[in-house]
Amino acid sequence: MKRKITAVAGLVAFALAGQNVSAKTLEDVLKEKGVITEEDYKEVSKVKPIDYKLGKGFTFTTQDERFQLSLGGRMQFRYTFFDYDKDNNAKNDTSQFDAKRVRLWAQGYAYSKNLTYNLEFDPRAYAKDNKTGLINAYMDYKIIDEAQVRVGQYKDFFGRQEVTSDGALEFVDRSPVADAFKHGYDIGAMLYGKVAGGIANYNVGVFGGAGQTNTRDSNDNAFIARVAVNPLGDMAYSEGDLDVSQKPLLSIGANYLYNTLNKTTPAAGPTYDSTASYTNSSTGWIPASTTFGNARDKIEVFAYGGDLAFKWMGFSLQGEYLLGQAEARHGNDNQRAQGYYAQAGYVIIPKTLEVAFRYSYLDKNRDADNNLITETIGAVSYYFDKHNLKIQGDVGNIHNQKTVSGVHEQFDDMQYRLQAQIIF
């Protein structure tokens, strides 16, 4: 039987060479053509010591199927041009080329198919900051579909767009609202599962709270929970309806986050012991630590969110509303923030060409005037092989309202982005 497969392999190779990179396997073609029987197909397909699948990488499996390792990666190359408002004298126009994300991963299972692991590394980020170079480092154990356990470092499950991989977006990048509220990567443990085949999904985790590759010298932790209900069937965390779903899909989700931030006083001044996005001075909504709370105060962070996603016949709709509050334990300092976005996309050519539009609204301080950020953006994406190989471009207007030296000012900056992505 194996000689038979080898003899015809050369004949079918020419047909396969001209097909899409995600074409059927050789065994599939031989079975469809009647060259091998069902029994032969099962025997050949049972174990492949070395295999390749686009999006998963090269896979090595032991003969007894007790161990498996897949090696792969993803790269995003981006060009961005910022055309700043002529009245925004603090900034100059920029033309920027960037290798935005370069990821290498190793994943698989060991001893049992229920014990899986994932290790993901970003060499570019490591070259800039060795703490952000390590992305994922975790292992999972599946008791049953409804009860699975994860331990290690990974992305928390707060916010639909944040949960969705940045390699599976309709736009070049996430909404500024999702970036402002996300907790990001952290070290912890999580219980999660799928109920009734994915009609409902849940995630409940406890984290160190100090962020990516950081540990904390206190007994404070972060708690994050998410639940999603999919009444029409399980819906993957991937934007756009590239497969042009023949039946409608709907997902409704809710999130909760609690974290306690501690202050330290290095030579540069008080800082938070967290790398979460909401503490980032450029994207987050919590104000600088030097002006919020006492120098060694603790700050409690609460965040909530709700979201919805819908797909059908090439049309996709998605939106989120996120709400946050930070309170100093000693004193009266507190800050409330809110934001939302809504986006819609339509696949003009199935699996190939898509257009999308998004509007975002971010208010970093609900108790202050003139501090809004809005984004109005349109995108076009061309997919060679879904999200595995694509080119995306988007154009957006970023509207900023802020107060400078007691004067209320408004700026409208234009952003042009073009990005190519490959997953291998």
Q: pLDDT by residue (tens digit) across 35-74? A: 778 777 766 666 678 888 887 899 999 989 999 999 999 9
State yes or no: pLDDT of 108 exceeds 70.
Answer: yes
State yes or no: pLDDT of 279 exceeds 90.
Answer: no
pLDDT at position 34, please?
A: 75
The answer to whether 249 and 311 are in contact (CB under 8 A) is: yes
Place of tokens 């957006």: 396
pLDDT at position 9, please?
A: 40
Q: How many domains does the chain have?
A: 1
Query: Would you say residue 3 lies in a domain?
Result: no
Counting Cα atoms < 13 Å in the Cβ hemisphere of 193 gives 12
- In our burial notation (b when 16+ CB lie closer than 10 A, e otherwise), range 233-272 reads eebebbbbbbeebeeebbbbbebebebbbbbeeeeeebbb
pLDDT at position 10, please?
A: 41
Query: Would you say residue 310 lies in a domain?
Result: yes
Query: Would you say residue 1 lies in a domain?
Result: no
Higher pLDDT, 17 or 161: 161
pTM above 0.95, yes or no: no
Higher pLDDT, 204 or 280: 204
pLDDT at position 270, please?
A: 59
pLDDT at position 86, please?
A: 76
Query: Would you say residue 2 lies in a domain?
Result: no
- Which CATH number covers residue 392? 2.40.160.10
Query: Would you say residue 80 lies in a domain?
Result: yes
* Number of other CB atoms surrounding residue 291 within 10 Å: 8
State yes or no: pLDDT of 292 exceeds 60.
Answer: yes
Q: Which domain holds residue 327?
A: 47-423
Place of tokens 């965040």: 303
Query: Would you say residue 7 lies in a domain?
Result: no
Q: How does pLDDT run across 64-104, given as a tens digit for each residue?
A: 999 999 999 999 999 999 998 877 666 788 999 999 999 99
pLDDT at position 215, please?
A: 86
- In our burial notation (b when 16+ CB lie closer than 10 A, e otherwise), range 317-356 reads bbbbbbbbbbbbeeeebebbbbbbbbbbbbbeeeeeebeb
User: Coil, helix or strand for 179?
Assistant: helix
Q: How does pLDDT run across 383-395, given as a tens digit for each residue?
A: 999 999 999 999 9
* Number of other CB atoms surrounding residue 422 within 10 Å: 16
Structure tokens at 21: 């990179």
Structure tokens at 168: 């599976």
Q: How does pLDDT run across 138-187, given as a tens digit for each residue?
A: 999 999 999 999 999 999 999 999 999 999 999 999 999 999 999 999 99
| Averaged pLDDT of the chain | 87
Query: Would you say residue 37 lies in a domain?
Result: no
Distances (CA, A) of 373 to 174, 300, 361, 399: 15, 24, 6, 6
pLDDT at position 28, please?
A: 77
pLDDT at position 59, please?
A: 95
d(CA 340, CA 179): 11
Query: Would you say residue 387 lies in a domain?
Result: yes
Helices (H), 122-243: 123-128, 160-163, 176-181
Q: How does pLDDT run across 321-370, given as a tens digit for each residue?
A: 999 999 888 767 888 999 999 999 999 999 999 999 999 999 999 988 87
